[in-house]
Amino acid sequence: MEEYCRIMIIDDEFIMRQGLKHMMEWEKEGFCIVGEASNGREGLEMIPKLRPHIILCDIVMPGMDGVEFAGILRDKYPEIKLIVLSGYDNFEYVRSTLMYGAADYVLKPMLKPEELLATLTRTARQIPGLTLKKQEAPSAVKQLEEYLLGRAEELPVSVSRELFDCTFYRIYAADIRKKEGKQDMASILYTKAEELLDKMKDCRHVLLFLHEETMCIVLNYDARRRDWVEDEIRRMTETLTLIYGRYFAILGGEFRKLSDLRGNFRECLLPSVDRSFYYRDLHLKVSDDEWRSVKEPCKFDFPRYSGLLGSSRYQEALDMLSAYVEDAVAAELDEYRLKNITKNMFYSLLTALEDEEREMDKMRLRIFRRIDGAPYVEEFLDILEETFAELEKILGTEGADEDRRIRRILEYIALNYQENLNLQEVASVFHFNYFYLSAYFHTKVSEGFSGYLNRIRVEHACEILRGESVPISEVSGRVGYSDHSYFCRVFKKITGKTPSAYRQENRNV
């Protein structure tokens, strides 16, 4: 009898399940995915309803692993073929499942569509009475997916007719490759989005999972439902944000031609979908809003950096790294790339210092963990500032040259405190990187730049208040504050008194 070979996937990783589902055009090859489960126990409960011919099952899962599952499957459903998914280091588990009657196994790290297809076809031939029914053309949803990913040049008219019947389109995309502790958030977010979309009866939609990480929703609606659709999407985003606090999505602009679909997705949504690292309080970016302009960061000059380390010019290497990070953050470089480049540069620096008989393993591990764990760019920069300060001490920059440098900076502040002085200006004058100067100043003065500047200004304000009768607002302006109320707050914070009270108590002292 000619029919599709029914496949069931059991794996605790949602990303892996989605990767398998999108690995090939299943119906075209004579197979169909009838269901998926996150562990063996859940899979056993689904078997009577799904009646799979073949089960693809992970070997290591919580609750019930692949070995236990294989034993139960052999006893209860001996007609079902089992193919085990395994890593390199699980061969003892694989051998156990083969003893329980598993038909074959495939290695996850080596998994390729052609190899999986060969294994499935070989296994399907062992099923009595089954002849694979191959589909000549992939489904409309599969064709839409292939078009978005750039694997197909054109989108057939038949796809539009089957999936859509309204005038306007928009695309919604979110990176759901997330974890909350040990919990896989992708499955939860995807399932909840599917549930909420099914309730939007006046809007057709196609929900896709692209690149094994991006949830993509193609929305199709009439003009009268335009505002309603956007409101519903905002409500869906709010719900998903309650589930995962760092959720971030993009809603593209409206268009009428389905042929504009791929350009809209690839040029407007895909480059921005993973930018939550830079937007702590933003969970939905609507394309009509304006992004702040960014530039492509300069490529890090690793040969020069290595040369500086090789000649023990560690301070210059640290300056170079700091300047690159500042540039990369301004360009909103991809979070993963930013963190990994930074870690690689720190690794090289700490390894060079380790060669000088310093123990760096613990520091390296601590820095890397903190960088990986930084949820937003603000925390990332704080970690770097603290790390730079720590390395300053290790590098022993408290010598005479450095003492002269910090004295010159303090003298500059003393001469210019009355001006609209800020850290960026001082960094420019003394040829420092902004972030590095912040850490350097704190290390040398044991006080942040802003705190030190406020203290100097308040000291001069106290001198004026003790010796002159000019208005408080004039005192404020003379010591560098354009905002009188802010001056009063800073003054009270440092002295414990308001400027007026201080003048009263110290006028005749």
Residue 478 contacts residue 418 (beta carbons within 8 Å): yes
Span between the terminal Cα atoms of the chain, in Å: 107
- pLDDT tens sequence across 212-248: 678 889 999 998 998 999 999 999 999 998 888 888 8
pLDDT tier, 184 (very low <50, low <70, confident <90, very high otherwise)? low
Q: Does the 2-132 domain belong in CATH 3.40.50.2300?
A: yes
Q: What is the pLDDT of residue 172?
A: 92
Domain 140-286: which CATH number of 3.30.70, 1.10.3470, 1.20.1280, 1.20.1380? 3.30.70
User: Would you state the pLDDT for residue 430?
Assistant: 76
Q: Buried (b) or exposed (e) across 276-291, using 16+ Cβ within 10 A?
A: bbbbeeebbbebeeee
Is residue 376 within 8 Å of 277, Cβ to Cβ?
Answer: yes
What value does the mean pLDDT of the chain take?
81
* Cα dihedral 424, 427, 428, 431 in deg (nearest 10): -160
What sign does the CA torsion over 33, 36, 41, 46 have?
Answer: negative
Per-residue model confidence as pLDDT tens digits over 356-396: 545 677 888 888 889 988 888 889 999 998 888 888 777 76
Lowest mean pLDDT among 32-41, 223-232, 347-356: 347-356
Q: How confident is the model at residue 398 (pLDDT cuts 50, 70, 90)?
A: very low
> What CATH architecture is 451-506?
Orthogonal Bundle (1.10)
